[in-house]
Chains A and B, each alone.
Chain A
Amino acid sequence: MPKKPPRARPSPPNDPAGLRARPITFQLWEKLMSSEWPLWEVFIRGQHGLNHRHVGSLHAPDAEMAIRNARDVYTRRSEGVSIWVVKSNDVTASSPSDKGPLFDPSNSKVYRHPTFFDIPEEVGHM
């Protein structure tokens, strides 16, 4: 079952860093959070035809600006030729607690790997 996206906004009166003397007020929280730009995940395809790769995240008010910000933030050293952005909240991730059932079964399918098969040397490269 897909679970919630990884980075939901924290709910108001928490104190994630354990740093506040007392919890901030709801009003202040609202003021603080109301204009925060959403978080986006950035994927970039490099020069050599490889797949888009996750490179990091950034904040932007919408997708168009997220693309532009990604260009400015993540391609300063000519890293890419194509950019994808996805709102972080729209990412559905597998749950870490499912790691066993999801990924362990493939460990036993050793015949999927070419080294499983012994081919005599006389046959040559295969």
Chain B
Amino acid sequence: MGAAVETVDRTAFVEWLERVGDSALILGHRVSEWCGHSPVLEEDIALANQALDLIGQCSLWLEYAAEVEGKGQTADHLAYRRDASAFRNPLLLERPNGDFGHTLMRQFLFDAFHIKLLRALKDSADVRVAEIAAKAEKEVAYHLERSADLVVRLGDGTATSHARMAAALKALWPYTGELFADDAVDRAMAEAGIAPLPSSLRAAWEATVKLVLAEATLAMPGEVWQHGVGRTGGGKQGVHSEHLGYILAEMQFLQRAYPDATW
């Protein structure tokens, strides 16, 4: 177990680990929905690699969450037996896949955040967090290389591909604010030196996004209403969109229908 775990508030730490783990799980789930249905074989294979990376990361984070929680649970318990309100992923990641442009734009907006987060976590006061982040960072660096490049190419491709990417950006932008909204859990993690404050990652994220969108000939969206940052909270606090319920209904079906079975 990591170094910081003895001193920090465990409930907050578990909750934070679930935020990182659930993010990988839900995005991995969404990406895996493309398997067999992508626009071209090479892309189908690349996306499956990405989903595999994310499911692997989710296992590591949730396994650690279960350990810190100390109730004898496993990563599978957390993934398959929690209801929607106990999930802690931001709303952006449960957005439906939409067209391939939406999927890529969602990936890019998150990858650009994810990489900054993981790089900061490599210096975490908690050894285990730092280790998981170091492994995930290499994978996510590649995800970002791919998603940023595809956003550029499609933004600056045909008129149709440009229009689709612009529509995806407009639709998803209102879900980016939640990534950077700090709350009590985040502050506890920052004080313990486990994780950076999400708001501290914003400037670097914006710089990346600005650069990529410019090259993609897409206009950087201005200030718009942001979901999940108001008083009722968002996905990070367990207040989700309707979409998550359906994701979980599908994902957890077997474990729920046959609770005594091993697989």
Contacts and interface: CB of A to CB of B under 8 A. Distances in A.
Given A37-B40, A59-B40, A64-B149, A69 B46 contact: yes
Interface string A63-90: 0110011001100100000000000000
A76 B49 contact: yes
Contacts of A58: 42
A68 B49 contact: no
Interface string A7-29: 00000000000000000000000
Contact of B46 (A37, A59, A61, A68): A68
Nearest to A72: B46
A69 B42 contact: yes
A107 B153 CA distance: 52
Contacts of B1: none
Contacts of A64: 149
The size class of the interface chain A forms with chain B is: 10 to 19
A64 B42 CA distance: 13
B150 to A, nearest CB: 9
A59 B42 contact: yes
B50 to A, nearest CB: 9
A60 B42 contact: yes
A72 B149 contact: no
A125 B49 CA distance: 51
Interface in B36-74: 40-42, 45-46, 49
A71 to B, nearest CB: 8
Nearest to B146: A68
Contacts of B145: 68
A73 B149 contact: no
A79 to B, nearest CB: 14
Interface in B156-195: none
Nearest to B43: A69
Nearest to B158: A35
A73 B48 CA distance: 10
Nearest to B46: A72
B153 to A, nearest CB: 8
Contacts of B42: 58-60, 69, 72-73
Nearest to A70: B42
Interface in B113-154: 145-146, 149, 153
Contacts of A65: 149
Interface string A35-72: 00100000000000000000000111100110011001
A72 B49 contact: yes
A55 to B, nearest CB: 14
B47 to A, nearest CB: 9
A73 to B, nearest CB: 5
- Shortest 9 CB-CB distances between A and B: which pairs? A72-B46, A69-B42, A72-B45, A72-B49, A73-B45, A58-B42, A73-B42, A59-B42, A68-B146
13 contacts: A59-B40, A59-B42, A60-B42, A64-B149, A68-B145, A68-B146, A68-B149, A69-B42, A69-B46, A72-B45, A72-B46, A73-B42, A73-B45
Interface of B: 40-42, 45-46, 49, 145-146, 149, 153
Interface of A: 37, 58-61, 64-65, 68-69, 72-73, 76
Given A68-B145, A76-B49, 11 more contacts: A59-B40, A59-B41, A59-B42, A60-B42, A65-B149, A68-B146, A68-B149, A69-B42, A69-B45, A72-B42, A73-B42
